[in-house]
Amino acid sequence: MISPAITSTRPRAAWTAALPVIAAGALIAYGLTSSGYIATVLGFAAIYGVFCTGLNFFMGYTGQASFGQNAFAALGGYGSAILTDRLGLEPVLAILASMSIAGIVALVVGYPTLRLRGHYLAMATFALGLITYEITIEWTSLTHGYMGYSGIPPLGLFGYELANEKQQLVALVVIALFGVWISNRLRNSRFGRALRAIAGSEAAAAALGINVARYKLAAFVIAALYASVAGSLFAHFIGFISPEVFGTAMVVLSFTMLYLGGIGTTWGPLVGALIASLIPEVLRSTLPGGLKEGQDIVYCAILILILIFVPKGLSSLGSLWQARRSAVREG
């Protein structure tokens, strides 16, 4: 008998397919019935979920390295801020316009950069993030430099604004789920199979007729579009952005989320974003007084333990459980 661990995604039971929707519903309910602070934490998780879902296209599905997606989040964030503040655009239109700019920049930057591979590509993309960071600091007439950009309007459409964080949380979760839905559709499409073939072996993919350079560029642009949306959502959710928001810490955190949830999986990025956002809050509220000082150490220890015992990420827990159950059943 073939083990479930080595079989593909067979048609799943209806309840399994509905699980993400139920989980999202429970999350929204929790956020709406809790304090505004919890809603803000969950909102951050949803925004990072969007960012990581995009990063997953390039790093997970296509198997490439990018340390510079924060650059496109910065483009989205500052694009939204400037377009709504100076040009008076609707937030939704500003998000779409910022996406277009980020997409074009990704196309122009990605074309030469993606000729590199491995560590060289990682360094080039890292430089992209650093350059964008410097620009946001130095171009003060446009970005307000270290002071940051404040007074960014909340999400809304046709004059209607989502006034508080709980209303915005609902919108953010819906957008994050929509992002995962698109990711899932693309992953299982002809396009997605080409990306995953490139991740498996670039030489073999090319030898079968796949234009590797073009597909890598497409994955890079898609990741940039997601990053731009995440940056814009952050700007409208918090109402303030600064260069630090889109700094190197964003890259480190998004990598943590991606590997924690399961790189290359559909739900992994969102799951990772949620867990990595919630663990510090849970520790803050549950650790006894004396241990609160070492909260970061406990947080890191938990992350390391998860990665040791569930190396394929938390979203693989289901298949691990199924494999163990069938192993027990077989004897």
Partner 1 sequence: MSAGSSSVGATVPQTATTSAHLFEARDVSAHYGRVHALKPTSLHVGRGELVTVLGPNGAGKTTLMRALTRLMPREGSLFFEGRDVSALKTHELARLGIIMVQEGRGLFGQMTVRENLSVGGFTRPHEDEKLETVFTLFPRLKERVDQISSSLSGGEQQMLAIGRALMADPKVLMLDEPSLGLAPKVATEILETLGELNRRGLGILLVEQKAPLALKLARRVYILTLGRVAAELPADQIGSHHDLARYYLN
The tokens describing 167, both together, are 């209303």
Nearer to partner 1, 10 or 329 (CB): 10
d(CA 243, CA 146): 6
> Does 210 help bind partner 1 (rule: CB under 8 A)?
yes
Let me know if 112 is exposed, middle or buried by CB neighbors in 10 A (0-12, 13-18, 19+): exposed
Report CA-CA distances (Å) from 4 to 13, 264, 287, 312, 326: 14, 18, 38, 15, 8
* Stretch near partner 1 under the rule CB under 8 A, chosen from 91-99, 128-136, 172-180, 205-213: 205-213
272 and 316 Cβ atoms separated by less than 8 Å: no
Shortest reach from residue 190's CB to partner 1, in Å: 7
Three-class DSSP category at 80? helix
The half-sphere exposure of 37 on its side-chain side, counting CA atoms within 13 A, is: 5
Near partner 1 in 109-128, by CB under 8 A:
none
Nearer to partner 1, 144 or 187 (CB): 187
Binder of partner 1 out of 108, 201, 282, 301 (CB under 8 A): 201
> Does 204 help bind partner 1 (rule: CB under 8 A)?
yes
> Does 16 help bind partner 1 (rule: CB under 8 A)?
no
Bridge partner list, 160? 157
Shortest reach from residue 320's CB to partner 1, in Å: 15
Near partner 1 in 253-272, by CB under 8 A:
264
Range 31-41 burial, b when 16+ CB lie within 10 A, else e: beeeeeebbbb
> Does 193 help bind partner 1 (rule: CB under 8 A)?
yes
Binder of partner 1 out of 25, 200, 294, 311 (CB under 8 A): 200
Binder of partner 1 out of 13, 14, 207, 328 (CB under 8 A): 207
* Stretch near partner 1 under the rule CB under 8 A, chosen from 3-11, 76-84, 137-145, 159-167: 3-11
> Does 13 help bind partner 1 (rule: CB under 8 A)?
no
Shortest reach from residue 6's CB to partner 1, in Å: 4
265 conformational bin, left if phi > 0, alpha if psi -120 to 50, beta if neither: beta
> Does 10 help bind partner 1 (rule: CB under 8 A)?
yes
d(CA 9, CA 160): 42
* Stretch near partner 1 under the rule CB under 8 A, chosen from 19-27, 40-48, 206-214, 280-288: 206-214
d(CA 102, CA 98): 6
